[in-house]
Amino acid sequence: MAPGITCFPTFPKLVCTVVKASAANDDDLDRSLVQEYLNGKRSAGDELVNRYQRSVFNVALRMLGNVQDAEDVTQTTFGNAFAALESYDPKFRFFSWIYRMTFNESLNTIKRRRNVVSLDGSFDVPVANGASASADEAEDRVGRALLDLKPDDRAVVILRHFVSFSYEEISDVLGVPVKTVKSRLFTARERMRQSLLVTSA
């Protein structure tokens, strides 16, 4: 890539739906795409966006609870990532790097606001008065309980239950020991259970 010229990849329009993201962690392919982009191959940047845009958006949406904010964070995260791509160390996983940037930008958005869904089978949502709640109702209650958590606790729940990361991967993304990840996750789950029990009463 010519000195002084920065060509960012294109960003397809996001469809504003929440899906369970999968960890696209083919590390060798990521490293290859990064190097190709730095060598001037614009399509390699587009491929990186295609691999991670949906997951980044979902993480931001879960952190912020607002589609427009999540779209803004997604755009900003990728913009920052490609602007700083020459500083990326290939010894580390690209997905950890991009997710860490996503969380940091989400936290910045939360700070600017000053306003401070269904999970997998390991976390059951209490049903109001023993009645059968619809999937949308359960999703809405879980989303509200998630947003009631402190951002640090919210982050571990999102990565564990919505992105399906291992404890080690969460530790890598958040830059905290695995022991801390497990402790935060236990605390967050308990707080969510209590919150969901209150809303189901």
d(CA 51, CA 24): 7
Half-sphere exposure of 58 (CA within 13 A, CB side): 20
Phi, psi of 165 (to 5 degrees): -80, 150
pTM value?
0.68
d(CA 186, CA 131): 27
| CA angle at 39 for the pair 38 and 45, rounded to the nearest 5° | 50
Give me the domains of the chain, ranges plus CATH numbers.
Answer: 27-113 (1.10.1740.10), 128-200 (1.10.10.10)
User: Tens of pLDDT along the chain (201 residues)?
Assistant: 444 444 445 444 444 343 344 444 488 899 999 999 999 999 999 999 999 999 999 999 999 988 999 999 999 999 999 999 999 998 888 988 999 999 999 988 888 765 434 455 455 444 444 444 566 677 778 888 888 899 999 999 988 888 888 899 899 888 899 999 999 999 999 988 888 877 655
